[in-house]
Structures are given as structure tokens and as C-alpha cells.
Amino acid sequence: MTSQYIIQFFTEAITLALMLSLPPLMLGLVVGVVIAIFQTVTQINEQTLVIVPKMVAIIAGLLLFGGWMLNQMVSYTVGVFNTIPNIPG
């Protein structure tokens, strides 16, 4: 197993992890900024006003992008298992 193979393997794994975490995190960020602007304008400082919409947005994002995320994970896992016999010694 060469160092180049290990670097490529972990680079693909980290890239996939970042790519899969981006949609829910971005939805949470956008909703959080919108709610923060709303709180600033109305001077309402209620913490639950931020948490509940963020949770709903993240769950909606997971439901919306869940199929795509699962397909990406499955294809990566199948690719890893298919390359195991070809790992350079």
C-alpha cells in the first residue's frame, strides 16, 4: 500500500463527507441568519425562536437531499470494496 493510494483514499473520503454535510448545514445557516435578522429588527431575544426553525430546516434538508446523499455513500462504499483486491502491496 503506497502513500499515494492512502492520500487519495482519505482525500476522497473527506471530500465526500464535506459534500454530504453541506446541504443541511447551509440550510441551517441560511435559516439562522434570516431569524437573526428578524430578531434584530423586532428586538425579540427568544432562543427557541432560532432553534426550532433551524431544526425544521435541517430535517427538511435531510428529507429533500437524503436520497442523493444515500446514493453518494453507497457508490463510494461499493467503489472502496471493489478496489480492495487491487490495492497495491
Place of cell 478496489: 83
Looking at every residue in the chain, the average pLDDT score rounds to 91
Angle, CA 41 vertex, CA 39 and CA 45 arms, to 5°: 30
Per-domain boundaries in the chain: 3-81
Query: Whole-angstrom Cα distance, residue 44 to residue 9?
Result: 48
Residue pair 22/62 in contact by the 8 Å Cβ criterion: no
Q: What confidence tens digit (pLDDT) does each residue in 1-23 have?
A: 788 888 998 999 999 999 999 99
pLDDT score recorded for residue 45: 81
Give the three-state DSSP class for 57.
Answer: helix
pTM score, whole prediction:
0.78
